[in-house]
Structures are given as C-alpha cells and as structure tokens.
C-alpha cells in the first residue's frame, strides 16, 4: 500500500479554542483553519480607541499538517513574509509554553522582560499604602539615587510563601536631607528619596523605620526595593523591510530598517532635565595600612549581628566561625564553595548572619584591613566601540582604582549593562557572572554580548591620591594642658607624686617630663603617666602687677601696628588669624633680648596648643614674619606676616581622546588672604618679679596625631596604641574595646583621653591612620543622562572655575561642546552620553616656559596638524556644575487598556527580534500575469529557487494546488491536466517569492546584520527580512506505553508502584495515530472491570469508555476522526479493575502566539493592516 506525500494543501494554520483578548484566550488547537486571504481571519479591525490609546492583541494558532497518516514533515518553520503597510502596526510571534496555555500565560511571558536585580541600598521608608502613586526610600549619603525611567521592583516578604511584588517605573525623583533620632543620644542624617510613578500600588508594602534599619531588623517580613534587571525571557520573531538593496553573490551583510519590533505601544514625550548635578559623587574606601586581628566571642545565630572594631576594606576580611572559614565578596561572607552565611556592611564593620548560621555562642577569629568610607567625585574614563566590535576590551586607566570602586557600563542593542569590581580584582555583572579583571590600572572587560557600534564604554572609579597612610608611627607623648594665669612666667618648677620634678627653661621642659611652654599654657607630658586627678605643684616667678602691660584688639589683614602703652623689657603676642579659606591659626610670638625683633614660639591651626618638643614642625604650614619691630622705649610694635600652606595636590592632565588621563602629584604652595587678626599681647616694664606657688589637678590627656596643619584625620581610620592600650575611633569617640576612653578632633588631628593607663611609659603609637589631603580636582565629567535620547541643541551647562570664572556651555549641531576655550568634549544626543574635559590647549612652541609647570611631563605632548600641543589642566569647582537638557521619554500607558503591563517592558516598547545565532529568511514577493490559462500550459516565472507559488484569479480567488504542478527549484509553473478554467475568472496571476535563508553571525543596533552565507538573489527595499521560528520536525506518534497495577490519578511518565500483570502488546499491534487527528496529550485507560475501561486525557479530561473486545477509537470532535486507534489484538487478557494503561501522543502541530501591537496614530477603518505569515517545511522526497 502506498500513501500520498504531504502536499501544500495539507499544511494549515489552525485557530485555538478562544480567539479573543480575554484572560482565557488561547487554549487547545481546533480543527478550524485560518483561511488565507480572508479579512479579519486572525485579528478584528483596528478601532478608533485602539488608534487613540494603543493596544496589544494576542492570538494563539498552531502550525499543523493534516494528513490521514503519520508522515514526517521536516524542518518546519514560521516567518513573516509581508508586513502591514502602516508603520504604526507591528506583528510579532513567540512560542507557546504549552498546547493548552492561555493569554494570561502569554502575557506573563512577555512581561518577563524584567526580573529581580540587586537590592537597592538603604531601605523602604516605613509603610507605603495601596493606591499610592509615590513611595519613599531612605539612603546614606553617597548611595545611588534611582533614575527616571529605570524600573524598580518592590518585594514584600521575599522568599516567603506569601511573597508579592510590583514593578514600578519612576517618572519623577526628588531628594531631601533629614535627621532622624535612632537612640536617645544619637541622630543620623539620611537622604530621603521620593519616587513618583505612573501606576498605583496594588498592595500595601511595609518597610523599615530609620531606627529599625540602624538596629539591623530583619527584612524577611518587610518590603525591600530591588533594581529591575533585564531578563529578556521571551524570544520574539518578527520582520523588517530592507533599508538597502542587496545584489546577489556580493555580500554577507544586509541592512534592515530596524532589528527591533514593537511589542507594546508607547508615546514619546519631551521631559525637561533642569539644573541636574552630573558630578558622580561616589562613596569609596580609604584603606589603612596595617591589619587588624579579630578574636572575640559572639552569638552566631540567624539574623543576629556583631560589630567589628571599624569599617572594613573590601576584599580583606577573613573570619573563622567554629569550623567555617569565610571571606567577603561583594558584601557577603562566603565559603570557598560559594555558600553565603552573612553580610558585611563595609562602612560600619557590622556583620549580619543569614538564616543558615546556627553555631550559637562561639569564638570568632580572623583579620581585616581597616577602611573608612569617603565621599569623593568619581574619576571617569571612556572608550568608543569601533566597527570591529568584539567581546574583550582593555583600558589603561590614568590612576589605579580603589578596590571595589570600579563600575563599568556598556550598551548592547540599546540596553545599558553594568559590571562592578568585587573587591578581589574581578569584574562581575548583576548575576555574579565573571566579566573581566582589574589589575593595577589595567581593566580587561569581557562583555556578555557584543556592544553596539559607536556606543560608549564608561569607567567610573574612586582613587586614593588624596590621602596619606600612617602606620606604626611613634607620636609625641600625651600631655596635660596647665594654664598659668600670671602672664609670662620666667621659669617654672613642677613637682608631683613621689620625687617627680620637671623644670621649664626658655619654654622647654626637662626632667621627669617633656613638653613646652606656649604663651601661658604649659604642655606637660610626664615620662610615666599619672592617675587622673593627680595634683601638680607649680613654683614660678611672675612679674609684679605694677610692671605688667597688656593690649587686646582685632585688626584687618596681615599688617599690624599697636602700642603697649609704655616702655617694655620683654613681651609676648598671641595672634588669632582668620583666612579667606576658612583656616584658623593660633600663633604665639615673643620678644628677644638685645633685639627689636619678634620670633615665633608656636603655631597651631586650632585653639589647642600642640607641643613641638620632639622637633616635629609642620613642613607644610609656614607662618612667615616678613618684618617686625619692637620699640622697647615706647612700647610700639609693628608686624607684617604671611601664611604659606603647602598642600599635596594631584593634577589630572588630559592627553587626547585616545589615551587615558595622566596624573601627577605635587606639593603646591598656597597663600591665603588674611581677613582678620585678633591681637592679645602682654609685656613687662622691668624685671621685678615675685615667686608664686600653686597647685592644679589634671583631668585629661591630649595626644597630637598629625603634625600637618593643612591636613585632617579621616573619621573611622584612627587606630592607636596609647600606654599599652589599643584604641580606635567611632563617630568622634575613642574606644578601648567597648569602653569609651576619650574623643578625637578630626580637623585638629588631636585626641583627648579621659581614661588612660597610669604608671605606664608615656608612649603613643599610630598603629594605623588615614590623613585627608586636598581632594582631587574635577578634570573631566563623563556620564549618561537619566533619560535618552536628548533633543538636539537642548543641552546647556554652567560651570565655575576655581578662580571664580563662570562658564556657560552649549553644543553645536553635531554635539560638540562650545562656549569656552577651557571646555572640550562631545554630547551624544542619541545615547545621552556626555564626555567633557577641562583644559587649555597650548602650542608647545609658543609656550616654552610650560616645562616649568608643576604638572608638566613630556609624555603629555601630542602632535596635531604638524604641531606639538600640551593641555594645561583647568580646575573646576565640583559643586558648581549643573546642566539643563530636554530628553525624550515615554508616557506610561494604562495596562488595562493596552492589554499588557508596560512597566515590565522597555520604555519604548521595543525588543530585538533578531540576534546572533538566529535563523532568518529574506523574501520578496513577485507577480506575473499568466498569458494563457489552458490545461497543461507551462510558464517560466523568471526566477529560480522559489520559496512558494500561488495562483489567483482576477477576483482574488486562489487556484487549488490540486490543479498546479510547481517546480520551485526551476521556477516553472504548470496548469496540470485537471485544471478547469470555468471555476475561475481570467486573467490568472502567479504570486511567488524568492527567498534566501541564513544564520545570523552578528547584529548591530544600526540595523546592519552579518550572515553566515552570501545572498543568492537580488533584493529591493520591498523585501522582507524575517527571523524564523523553528518548530523542528512534525510527526504524530504514540509512545511511552506501560501498564500500572493501580491508578492514583497521577499522569506520570514513569511507573508509580507495581506494574500490572497484563501489558498492552504494541510491538506487533501498534497504537495508530494520524497527523490530522492526534493531539499532544497524556492518556490513561483506567479499568473498571476485567475488560471495560475509562478513557481519560490529562488535558481533555474523560472522553469515553472502551472495551478490550473492540477497537478503541475515541473521537476527536475537532476532526470527527479518532484521536488514536488501539486494535483488539493488542489487549491480551488478565486485566483487573483499577489497572491502568498509560501512554502519550504527540501532535503534528506546533502552538504559536501571534502579537499585534498598535501604536497611537490617526487613520480610518479603510486603512490596510494586512500581513502574511509564511509556513514552510520540507518532506521526504521519492528519489526513485
């Protein structure tokens, strides 16, 4: 017996149960075909409201082969061969999840473009009620602020059985600083961010109060905020017309109008960006030099926490908890196998255990490097992706980035992807996948996909050029301050304890103490420390009251003149100097015997006197007496002075747009303007004195931690060993263990001890300190605007230079920065990337003295137009930079009206329909009017290797394929001997398509697609480029037959329990199925007796009964033919009640969802929105 081969007449696209945009739309395939060429055969007309608001319509269909046998249909594929003429109508397809899935399932698949990303810093602020269109979050200073149009997701009770969530897309973001009381004696400043969005909250989300956040309350039953990352779970198939013609056999590249298709409507609107601060203020770490050891007993149980001594350098922490060794990675504590047991807050050093930590009270050992959070302007760099884009990119940064601070962003098909440094020199993406390495200044980036041509890779990072590290440095001894109320004592003897004596001569202390006399303040540092409250006895001589003179006044500037009111023999002048830079100096000057000059006794930048007995003078702060004259006969004193501050300063020199910036650290002199000087002078007329004895009880000790008066200490970086005790700072308080022992003045660099070890050697060592220098200047700004694209010519920026000059910048038509010779760069309107550099371009030949500049280096010279140039860095005030622009954004549409939730899709509603590795087809429709129409007439269509041929009459009626013989390879059409022209109206027209298929090697956002093979036909711009949905081979069959002793209503594909004693004999009596009638189903034949059974399908339910004594052929109501047929001979005997026969059937069908997205537009019901689906396959050919 022979069977007829599959013909084109056997291929149909079938409708599903419910062809409507209702939640239950879709379902199983029917036997009803979508008739080719019939109006509204898939979608209804576009209504006026559809055109006004926009809409997404979804219909489920199935590709089917309807032969009454089980012949194989090979390599089935679906594509789009004609597109709607109206550009506001798009069509797309995606694979169904099952034969029975519904529209609600398809909608969820489309909306799965976004998924949960990384947890946002800070916390959701208290309760956000259902119905709100705004939420508030609480952040630390320096935390990232959510951006407009960048989706977020709120999650309540994450990981719990009652978890729920909602995606939101910010439309407006505002920030404000607020102070909160977290304990009775502690307040904190938080950044409160108010986020507006288009939808309303569907449920109430409960966050944390600020005190709860600081007490590390678990969020397992609270709401958290996460970034929404692109998951792109659905794969879309669609088409675009060619943008450029293709000539056969010349190229493997084609250019299409777009590689995107619209899956949800969107409306573009103009959004002003006003007075935006583009400076990337980032929180990075200043890391101490020494290692801190950990050895303490804690409670290591779920959701508990403990605090380390200080902040922790990222990537430096190792902890051993009982038998578990943990290291930190991206804020988590993990084993070598990657199991996470807790989280580390690097800024505070707080460790919080996860639910899997259950060691109880246990000893914890380990080590780390101390670090303090420091907010600085991030350094930036970028490179542009060239035409020969790949996966790997190397960039040599101008400066080595701090561990954990580097952030890299790149663009693939219009979406921005971010990777960060994990603190161990590895770049990772949001999912934790490795994306490269950071070694010193060298960054190797490996992208997840090839970035778009001409897009920007932006590097943002913190650096450590504006701090100085101190480790294991012996400081001056700690001292007591004793104020002597009696003017200018000539000499002092101090006694205390048992036999302890110190003598002060000419301001220097010797004996059992060291220190100095500064004015009337005695800075006494006993060699062996004393108890708090110890009494010191002072014996000194003072001028007789009748001999004393004094003067007090405030004068402007640095040129002083005053009179003590009479002849003097000696005197002392204390100056309180205020400068234009906010620096306060305290200077003590003294007269000199046999001289009319003043000399400097002490200099301090605070109201504290700091001893210099160890020979430590500030090398970077100079008080210079330019001239002085003391007329001892009249008491007139004249003084002219200046202040010089030498600061550590880093220049950042821009060399060219193809080389990284050059950095050079120098010591730079600065002369602040003296705004006012307070004068307090004392003098004596003669040398008559009297002896005074007094006692004083000391309470505190002070320790000078830094000598550089132009410096300050970084909070959280202070680690001391003072008289044998280990001391560290937290929020300005000094602790030894958990006991407060004093305070620290970070600006003055001065520690005050209220508790110390008595009878100990007075020795203070800086175990680890970080000293802040002048912050790095803003040399460049490279950033992405929160929304893009930008309206051309809308960008405007105001910048103030360090010297006070205000620059107003704008762009030319090409995006080049204009407005100042000191500002250079480019605005990419399409991507919203701004790259801006501040420098003055100098021709070297015209500026020979440039070699004397502190920032000069020969390597910074570059050639341009036959001349050598070098760029002079221009300093900019970071807080002065603001820009305005107009961005295009997209109006959020009502999800109930358009049929999908647009928040979970790209803002413009577009997704790529072609990617690397896809199979594509290029087709172009051709027509030929047949000159004759008699049986056996043959026509050469003029093209070879056709994809399909149809013939229609003048009314549009299709000629049946039964009347046509078609040779696609030769391009020949024959009206066969059966053809009857009386059924049709002349003339006849042949409609046929040429086609090329290929694999995609590469795509680019510009529309350029590289293919695996050259194109073999000529194509015009009317040709359609379509991705192909590959359905594979289609052939009905029955498989997986087994018998089970009892039926438990579970459709398992493997035996559950015991096998039945009888088995269905299918080897010689197979179950018969046909392509036309079989469905995708799990079947159970459940015996009710020894011969009778129920016929049950997992999807279709119970459809009938059968008997072993008759042929089993349950009817498929869609085709009126059997789903399957089991011959009587297959049954055998021995069956018993509740036995079950299980088997599955495979349908020769493939379910597909077709989408139709309607953009807002004007039009009428007369508009043509037709499109064509191509259903192609191969069959086994008879080669005999």
pLDDT tens-digit series, residues 398-411: 788 888 888 999 98
- DSSP labels, 223-238: EEEEEEEE---S--B-
3-state secondary structure labels for all residues of 622-687: EEEEEEEEEECCCCEEEEEEEEEEEEEEEEEECCECCECCEEEEEEEEECCCEEEEEEEEEEECCC
What are the structure tokens assigned to 385, written together? 């992706």
Q: Residue 35: is its pLDDT beyond 60? A: yes
Mean of the pLDDT values across residues 669-685? 87
8 A C-beta contact, residue 134 and residue 174:
no
pLDDT score recorded for residue 805: 87
pLDDT in tens, 481-499: 888 876 666 678 999 999 9
Q: How does strand 123-124 pair with strand 186-197?
A: unpaired
Query: Which pLDDT band, with edges at 50, 70 and 90, does 280 fall under?
Result: low
pLDDT score recorded for residue 613: 36
pLDDT score recorded for residue 618: 45
Q: Residue 657: is its pLDDT beyond 70? A: no
Q: Residue 607: is its pLDDT beyond 50? A: no
pLDDT score recorded for residue 720: 92
Q: Compute how many other C-beta atoms are within 10 angstroms of the C-beta atom of residue 932.
A: 12
Is there a cis peptide before residue 769, judged by omega within 30 degrees of 0? no
8 A C-beta contact, residue 481 and residue 523:
yes
pLDDT score recorded for residue 617: 39
Q: Is 851 helix (H, G, I), strand (E, B) or coil?
A: helix
- The secondary element (H helix, E strand) that includes residue 213 is helix 210-214
Q: Residue 135: is its pLDDT beyond 60? A: yes
Q: Residue 230: is its pLDDT beyond 80? A: no
3-state secondary structure labels for all residues of 446-475: ECCCCCCCCCEEEEEECCCCCEEEEEEEEC
8 A C-beta contact, residue 178 and residue 122:
no
CA 447/CA 417 separation, integer angstroms: 9
Return the residue matching tokens 């011969």.
1091
CA 732/CA 1029 separation, integer angstroms: 65
Interacting residues of 952 by C-beta distance below 8 A, sequence separation 6+: 958, 959, 988, 989, 991
Q: Residue 1125: is its pLDDT beyond 50? A: yes
Query: Which pLDDT band, with edges at 50, 70 and 90, does 1027 fall under?
Result: very high
Residue of 706, 881, 710 whose CA lies nearest to 807: 881
Q: In this predicted structure, which of 167-171, 190-194, 251-255, 267-271 has the lowest mean pLDDT?
A: 267-271
Distances (CA, A) of 48 to 54, 1162, 1164, 1167: 10, 9, 8, 12
pLDDT in tens, 69-112: 999 999 999 999 999 989 899 999 999 999 999 999 999 888 88
DSSP code, position 583: -
pLDDT in tens, 871-906: 888 888 877 889 999 988 777 677 777 878 888 888
What are the structure tokens assigned to 923, written together? 């087709």
**pLDDT, averaged across the chain:** 87
8 A C-beta contact, residue 948 and residue 958:
no
8 A C-beta contact, residue 605 and residue 711:
no
CA atoms 960, 965, 967, 970: torsion sign: negative
What's the CA angle centered on 262, arms 41 and 79, to 5 degrees?
55
3-state secondary structure labels for all residues of 132-172: CCEEEEEECCCCCCCCCCCCEEEEECCCCCCCEEEEECEEE
Q: CA 121 from chain center: how many Å?
A: 11
Q: Which of 434-443, 820-829, 1084-1093 has the highest mean pLDDT?
A: 1084-1093
Higher-confidence position of 1164 and 671: 671
8 A C-beta contact, residue 425 and residue 314:
no
pLDDT score recorded for residue 485: 76
Q: Residue 667: is its pLDDT beyond 80? A: no
User: Of how many residues is the chain composed?
Assistant: 1184
Can you count the helices (H) and strands (E) in the chain? 4, 91
206: phi > 0 → left, psi -120 to 50 → alpha, else beta; which?
beta
pLDDT in tens, 448-475: 888 888 888 999 888 876 677 888 888 8
8 A C-beta contact, residue 638 and residue 628:
yes
Return the residue matching tokens 């020795």.
763
pLDDT in tens, 416-445: 888 998 888 899 987 778 899 999 889 999
Hey, what's the torsion of the CAs at 566, 572, 573, 574, to 10 degrees? -140
Q: Is 9 helix (H, G, I), strand (E, B) or coil?
A: helix
pLDDT score recorded for residue 427: 92
pLDDT score recorded for residue 1: 39
Q: Residue 1183: is its pLDDT beyond 70? A: no
What's the CA angle centered on 333, arms 305 and 117, to 5 degrees?
100
DSSP code, position 107: H
Interacting residues of 472 by C-beta distance below 8 A, sequence separation 6+: 290, 765, 766, 767
Q: Residue 415: is its pLDDT beyond 90? A: no
pLDDT in tens, 612-648: 333 333 455 678 899 999 999 999 999 999 988 776 6
CA atoms 21, 27, 30, 35: torsion sign: positive
**Burial label, 134 (beta-carbon count in 10 A; 0-12, 13-18, 19+):** middle
Q: Residue 509: is its pLDDT beyond 90? A: no
CA 1077/CA 1074 separation, integer angstroms: 5
CA 1135/CA 776 separation, integer angstroms: 88
Mean of the pLDDT values across residues 808-816? 90
Residue of 555, 554, 559 whose CA lies nearest to 640: 559
pLDDT in tens, 954-977: 998 999 988 999 999 999 999 999
Interacting residues of 558 by C-beta distance below 8 A, sequence separation 6+: 640, 641, 642, 643, 674, 677
8 A C-beta contact, residue 873 and residue 779:
yes
What are the respective helix, strand and coil percentages of the chain, to the nearest 5? Answer: 5, 50, 45
Is there a cis peptide before residue 311, judged by omega within 30 degrees of 0? no
Annotated domain spans of the chain: 8-109+913-1033+1152-1179, 114-230, 291-369, 379-461, 539-553+568-648+663-699, 700-774, 776-892, 1036-1147
Q: Compute how many other C-beta atoms are within 10 angstroms of the C-beta atom of residue 586.
A: 20
CA 1119/CA 1076 separation, integer angstroms: 8
Q: How does strand 513-518 pair with strand 521-526?
A: antiparallel
Q: In this predicted structure, which of 278-292, 501-515, 1108-1122 has the lowest mean pLDDT?
A: 278-292
What are the structure tokens assigned to 197, written together? 């969005």
CA 294/CA 327 separation, integer angstroms: 13
Hey, what's the torsion of the CAs at 1044, 1046, 1052, 1056, to 10 degrees? -80
Q: Residue 288: is its pLDDT beyond 50? A: yes
Q: What is the largest CA-CA distance in the chain?
A: 145
Distances (CA, A) of 827 to 457, 505, 836: 15, 69, 8
Q: CA 829 from chain center: how many Å?
A: 22
Distances (CA, A) of 103 to 63, 377, 464, 1154: 18, 50, 56, 11
Backbone angles phi, psi at 932, to 5 degrees: -135, 170
Residue of 403, 488, 493, 391 whose CA lies nearest to 440: 403
- DSSP β-bridge partners for residue 82: 1172
Q: CA 653 from chain center: how many Å?
A: 28
CA 580/CA 673 separation, integer angstroms: 5
CA-based end-to-end distance of the chain? 17
Query: Which pLDDT band, with edges at 50, 70 and 90, does 721 fall under?
Result: very high
């Amino acid at each position: 017996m022979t069977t007829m081969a599959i013909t084109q007449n056997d291929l149909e696209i079938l409708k599903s149960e419910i062809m409507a945009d209702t939640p239950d739309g879709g379902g199983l395939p029917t036997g009803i075909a979508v008739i080719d060429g019939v109006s509204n055969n898939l979608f209804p007309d576009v209504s006026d409201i559809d055109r006004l608001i926009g809409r997404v319509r979804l219909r489920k269909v199935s590709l089917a082969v309807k032969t009454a046998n089980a012949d194989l249909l090979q390599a089935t594929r679906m594509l789009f061969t004609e597109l709607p003429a109206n550009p506001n109508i798009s069509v797309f397809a995606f694979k169904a999840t099952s034969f029975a899935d519904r529209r609600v399932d398809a909608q969820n698949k489309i909306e799965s473009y976004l998924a949960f990303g990384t947890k946002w810093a800070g916390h959701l602020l208290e309760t956000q009620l259902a119905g709100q269109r705004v939420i508030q979050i609480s952040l630390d200073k320096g935390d990232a602020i959510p951006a407009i149009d960048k989706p977020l997701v709120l999650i309540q009770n994450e990981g719990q059985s009652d978890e729920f969530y909602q995606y939101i897309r910010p439309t407006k973001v505002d920030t404000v600083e607020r102070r909160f009381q977290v304990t009775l004696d502690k307040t904190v400043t938080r950044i409160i961010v108010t986020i507006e969005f288009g939808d309303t909250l569907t449920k109430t989300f409960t966050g944390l109060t600020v005190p709860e956040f600081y007490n590390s309350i678990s969020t397992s039953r609270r709401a958290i905020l996460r970034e929404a990352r692109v998951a792109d779970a659905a794969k879309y198939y669609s088409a675009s017309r060619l943008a450029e013609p293709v000539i056969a056999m010349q190229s493997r590249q084609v250019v299409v109008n777009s590689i995107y298709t619209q899956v949800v409507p969107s409306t573009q609107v103009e959004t002003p960006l006003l007075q935006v601060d583009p400076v990337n203020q980032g929180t990075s770490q200043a890391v101490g030099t020494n290692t801190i050891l950990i050895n303490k007993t804690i409670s290591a149980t779920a959701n508990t926490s403990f605090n380390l001594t200080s902040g922790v350098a990222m990537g430096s922490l190792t902890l051993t908890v009982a038998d578990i060794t943990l290291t930190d990675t991206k804020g988590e504590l993990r084993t070598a196998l990657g199991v996470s047991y807790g989280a580390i807050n690097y800024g505070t050093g707080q460790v919080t255990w996860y639910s899997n930590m259950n060691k109880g009270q246990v000893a914890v050992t380990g080590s780390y490097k101390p670090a303090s959070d420091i907010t600085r302007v991030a350094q930036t760099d970028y490179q542009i992706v060239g035409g020969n884009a790949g996966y790997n990119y190397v960039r040599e940064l101008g400066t080595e980035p701090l561990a954990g601070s580097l952030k890299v962003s790149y663009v693939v098909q219009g979406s921005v992807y971010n990777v960060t440094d994990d603190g161990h020199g590895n770049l990772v993406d949001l999912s934790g996948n490795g994306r490269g390495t950071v070694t010193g200044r060298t960054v190797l980036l490996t992208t997840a996909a090839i970035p778009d041509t001409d897009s920007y890779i932006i590097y943002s990072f913190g650096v450590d050029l504006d701090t100085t590290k101190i480790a294991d440095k012996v400081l001056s001894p700690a001292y007591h301050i004793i104020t002597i109320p009696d003017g200018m004592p000539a000499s002092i003897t101090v006694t205390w304890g048992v036999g302890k004596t110190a003598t002060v001569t000419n301001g220097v202390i010797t004996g059992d103490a060291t220190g100095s006399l500064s004015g009337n303040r005695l800075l006494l540092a006993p060699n062996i420390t004393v108890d708090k409250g110890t009494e010191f006895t002072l014996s000194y001589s003072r001028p007789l009251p009748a001999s004393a003179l004094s003067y007090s006044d405030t004068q402007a500037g640095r040129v002083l003149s005053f009179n003590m009111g009479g002849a003097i023999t000696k005197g002392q002048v204390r100056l309180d100097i205020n400068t234009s830079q906010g620096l306060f100096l305290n200077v003590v000057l003294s007269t000199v015997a046999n001289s009319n000059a003043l000399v400097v006794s002490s200099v301090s930048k605070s109201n504290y006197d700091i001893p210099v007995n160890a020979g430590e003078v500030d090398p970077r702060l100079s008080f210079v007496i330019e001239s002085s004259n003391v007329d001892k006969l009249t008491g007139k004193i004249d003084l002219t002075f200046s202040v010089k501050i030498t600061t550590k300063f880093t220049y950042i020199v821009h060399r060219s747009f193809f080389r990284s910036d050059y950095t050079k650290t120098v010591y730079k002199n600065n002369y602040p303007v003296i705004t006012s000087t307070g004068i307090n002078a004392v003098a004596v007329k003669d040398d008559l004195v009297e002896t005074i004895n007094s006692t004083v009880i000391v309470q505190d000790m002070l320790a000078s931690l830094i000598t550089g008066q132009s410096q300050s200490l970084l909070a959280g970086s202070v680690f001391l060993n003072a008289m044998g005790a280990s001391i560290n700072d937290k929020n300005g308080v000094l602790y030894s263990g958990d006991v407060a022992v004093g305070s620290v003045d970070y600006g003055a660099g001065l520690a005050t001890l209220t508790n110390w070890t008595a009878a100990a050697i007075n020795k203070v060592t800086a175990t680890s300190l970080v000293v802040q220098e002048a912050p790095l200047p803003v040399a460049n700004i490279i950033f992405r605007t929160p929304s893009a694209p930008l309206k051309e010519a809308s960008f405007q920026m105001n910048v103030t230079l360090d010297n006070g000059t205000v620059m107003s910048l704008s762009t030319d038509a090409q995006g080049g920065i204009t407005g100042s010779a000191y500002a250079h760069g480019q605005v990419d309107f399409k991507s919203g990337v701004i790259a801006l550099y501040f420098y003055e371009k100098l021709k070297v030949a015209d500026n020979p003295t440039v070699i004397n500049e502190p920032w000069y280096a020969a390597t910074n010279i570059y050639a341009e137009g036959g001349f050598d140039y070098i760029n002079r860095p221009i300093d900019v005030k970071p807080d002065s930079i603001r820009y305005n622009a107009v961005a295009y954004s997209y109006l959020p549409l009502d999800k109930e009206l358009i049929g999908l939730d647009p928040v979970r899709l790209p803002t413009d509603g577009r997704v790529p329909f072609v990617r690397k590795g896809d199979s594509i087809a290029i087709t172009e429709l051709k027509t030929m009017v047949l000159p004759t129409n008699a049986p056996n007439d043959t026509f050469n269509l003029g093209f070879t290797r056709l994809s399909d041929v149809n013939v229609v009459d003048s009314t549009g009626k299709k000629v049946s394929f039964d009347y046509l013989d078609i040779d696609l390879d030769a391009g020949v059409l024959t009206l066969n001997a059966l053809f009857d022209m009386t059924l049709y109206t002349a003339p006849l027209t042949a409609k046929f398509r040429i086609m090329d298929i290929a694999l995609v090697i590469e795509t680019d956002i510009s529309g350029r697609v590289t293919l695996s093979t050259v194109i073999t036909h000529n194509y015009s711009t009317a040709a359609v480029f379509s991705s192909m949905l590959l359905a594979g081979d289609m052939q009905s069959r029955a498989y997986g037959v087994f018998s089970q002793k009892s039926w438990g209503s579970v459709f398992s594909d493997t035996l559950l329990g015991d096998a039945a004693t009888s088995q269905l004999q299918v080897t010689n009596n197979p179950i018969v199925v046909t392509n036309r009638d079989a469905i995708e189903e799990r079947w159970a034949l459940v015996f009710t007796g020894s011969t009778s059974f129920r016929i049950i399908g997992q999807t279709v339910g119970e459809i009938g009964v059968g008997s072993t004594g008759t042929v089993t052929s349950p009817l498929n109501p869609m085709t009126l033919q059997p789903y399957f047929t089991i011959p009587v001979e297959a049954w055998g005997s021995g069956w018993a009640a509740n036995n079950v026969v299980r088997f599955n059937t495979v349908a020769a069908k493939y379910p597909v969802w077709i989408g139709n997205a309607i953009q807002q537009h004007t039009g009428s019901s007369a508009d043509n929105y037709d499109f064509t689906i191509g259903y192609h396959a191969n069959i086994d050919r008879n080669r005999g």
